[in-house]
Amino acid sequence: MSLLQFFLAVDVTVVNIALPSIGDEYGVGGHALTWVVVGYTITGGGLLLLGGRLGDLYGRRRVLLFGTGLFGAASLLAGLAPTFELLVLARLLQGAGEAVALPAAMATIVLLFPEGPLRSRALSVWGAVASCGLALGFAVSGVITAQLGWRWIFLLSVPFVLVVLLAAVLLIDGDRPAVPPAEGAAPLSPGPRRPGLGGALLLTACPLLFTLAVVGAGEPATPGWLVAGASAGAVAAGFACVRVEARARDPLLPPRFFAHRARVAANLTTMLLSGALSTSFLLFTFYLQDRLGTGPLGAGLTMLPLAVSLIACALLVPRLLGRWGARACVLAGIGFTAAALAVIALVAVLRADGPALVPAMFLIAAGMGLGIVGLQYVAVSGVTEDDAGTASGVQRAADQLGGATGTALCVGVGFAPALHSVDPFVLATLLAGVGLVIGAVVAGRMPAPPTGERPGTGPGERPAGRPGERTG
């Protein structure tokens, strides 16, 4: 499951450094190249709720195999795409494959480890692997693009996807027939067993249109009617999604989900923190390549301290999560991320060399390791066999949609030509910092479950599993 998570995370960032090479081959500019990035993250994030729901309805193992296979086939298509339009389509399919596979993978891990130290350690490994995939995506992209060509950033993942498929068949128990919940239990997903496709499509359309509006507003050649239409469409899709889900007999996000205050707060904070973290990744790339003129290989190698520090955080976070508790870890992660943004802004103002960004990379690693893992723990607290996929899908959707829309807003506004009287790096970090302040307020009031010992389950809830018991 961690190997799958790694390559899903790599594909979020692996195209960033390769974008100039992709544009040169297809003859497209920066505005069109944006869709190579956001096509994957927003499609994946928008469909994650549907993916989590499918895992609960049709079995996590079955859905995991389908989603992983779709992701592998789309990666092959992206690496062989003869036209730019086909590359964008392949990225959309990659996002759909991720949306189906990732909640099932996370739910499998959650149900294999009971709440307490074992789950804290498992989610720390899971979060560290994702963080390393995001960071190494930059470094690997630079090396592969310089030595083999950009197509190999997609093709190299195909054999590893085959390994994941084989391992999942051999190591994960087959899906069991659905059993009625224990007396008094109320799963998050009651009612008819059918997914809400309309709500999922609207949830995907909303951030896609929002990104189109923000990115288009920053391009002088974009007509005003397109920006206005995309903005209105994003608002309309958002309202329509809420309306459709409110009337659905079997909604993607049942009303009972909002009764769990800790999960709601954790997912809202995840969106804000992920927006700041994703913004920092793109700012690293822009500063190294655009402002300093560093080539793909040099920019990738400069990002290596981030990957190394993330591995170090993976060794420390499980202990800190058990000692401090999830809420304290989340607040510490937000603080480290805010400090990193301040360092990026200072480096940009001073126009310092690339190594000056290394302290910010260490701070980002600490912020991601402590913040995201702590939020993941809270977001899946108290889950059962009936709702683990839904809760996992919501958490991953909050992470990806928050990162994609946060980056589009902070970087799109920060680097808009009309605002170039202010240093774009400073403006982007300020916008991300506002989100972190809001996230800190929400996290400070978040009722976090204990992590040092296994808490009791709520009224009518069944435990996710017992030590040594395989429940997936």
The whole domain housing 368 covers 2-174+197-444
Residue 429 clears pLDDT 80, i.e. is over it: yes
User: In the prediction, which pLDDT does 79 show?
Assistant: 93
Nearest by Cα to 15 from 160, 150, 171, 198: 150
Residue-wise pLDDT for 161-207, tens only, equals: 999 999 989 988 776 654 444 444 445 444 445 556 777 788 888 88
Nearest by Cα to 368 from 128, 199, 170: 128
In a domain, 65, yes or no: yes
Average pLDDT over residues 260-281: 89
Burial label, 258 (beta-carbon count in 10 A; 0-12, 13-18, 19+): exposed
- How many CB atoms sit inside 10 A of residue 226's CB? 14
Tell me the whole-structure pTM to 2 decimals: 0.74
Burial label, 408 (beta-carbon count in 10 A; 0-12, 13-18, 19+): buried
In a domain, 357, yes or no: yes
In a domain, 461, yes or no: no
CATH number of the domain bearing residue 386: 1.20.1250.20
Q: Are 260 and 317 in contact (CB under 8 A)?
A: no
Helix (H) or strand (E) holding 458: none
Q: Are 163 and 99 in contact (CB under 8 A)?
A: no
In a domain, 451, yes or no: no
Burial pattern 156-180, b for ≥16 Cβ within 10 A else e, equals bbeebbeebbeebeeebeeeeeeee
In a domain, 466, yes or no: no
In a domain, 465, yes or no: no
Q: What does each C-alpha distance from 332 to 344, 360, 417, 448 come to in angstroms?
A: 19, 15, 35, 14
How many domains, in total, are found in the chain?
1
Cβ-based neighbours of 397, under 8 Å, separated by 6 or more: 45, 46, 48, 49, 52, 203
Residue-wise pLDDT for 281-312, tens only, equals: 888 878 887 788 887 778 778 888 887 787 77
In a domain, 307, yes or no: yes
In a domain, 238, yes or no: yes
Structure-block tokens of residue 457? 């389950």
Residue-wise pLDDT for 352-384, tens only, equals: 998 899 999 999 989 988 898 888 888 877 777
Q: Is 446 left (phi over 0), alpha (psi -120 to 50) or beta?
A: beta
Q: Count of alpha carbons within 13 Å of 106, Cβ hemisphere only?
A: 38
Torsion angle in degrees (nearest 10) through CA of 272, 310, 94, 72: -160
Structure-block tokens of residue 440? 């800190």
User: In the prediction, which pLDDT does 177 show?
Assistant: 52
